[in-house]
Amino acid sequence: MALTLEPAFTLTVEVGEPREVGRTHAGYRRVIPILGGSVDGPALTGTVLPGGADWNVVRPDGAVHVWARYEIRSADGAVISVINEGLGYFDTPAGGVSMPTRPVFEVPEGGPTWLATGFFLGELRVGSEAGQVSIEVSRVLAI
């Protein structure tokens, strides 16, 4: 494997009370609102903006599918759209305490274009504090 992971930044996301949709044709759906947070790391610093949510579902086969959409603002003032999708088992006998994700970014002109054109891998982890989730984002580099 000639792909390498380069640590980029960590999203620390404050989340609200889950809203339960319940059991649908897709599985058990819950919606977790995004309240704010911070972006810290060698490649980017800024804030997580309030708004958006994680619409996650426990699928019929037991895997958890995470799909979150929200915005961050870089220290330079660029508003960046985030879609973060993950799949795995989360904090259960079947899985670990973290879940792999693939965050995708949409970046305005003048912003950090490497975020829009790069491929990233995230590690989503429930924070040590209640109502907090962290995603360690690494850039996947093809050599």
Restricting to residues 93-122, name those near its own copies by CB under 8 A.
Answer: 95-102, 104, 106-109, 111, 113, 116-119, 121
Restricting to residues 2-31, name those near its own copies by CB under 8 A.
Answer: 2-3, 5, 7, 19-27, 29, 31
Give the count of beta carbons closer than 10 Å to the beta carbon of residue 22: 7
Structure tokens at 90: 């989360």
Angstrom distance (rounded) from CA 32 to CA 8 = 25
Question: Which residues neighbour 63 within 8 Å (Cβ) at sequence distance 6 or greater?
Answer: 87, 88, 89
Kindly state whether residue 123 participates in binding its own copies, applying the rule CB under 8 A. yes
Question: Which residues neighbour 93 within 8 Å (Cβ) at sequence distance 6 or greater?
Answer: none
Binding-site ranges for its own copies (CB under 8 A) = 1-3, 5, 7, 19-27, 29, 31, 33, 49, 51-53, 55, 59-63, 69, 71, 78-81, 86-89, 95-102, 104, 106-109, 111, 113, 116-119, 121, 123, 136, 138, 140-143
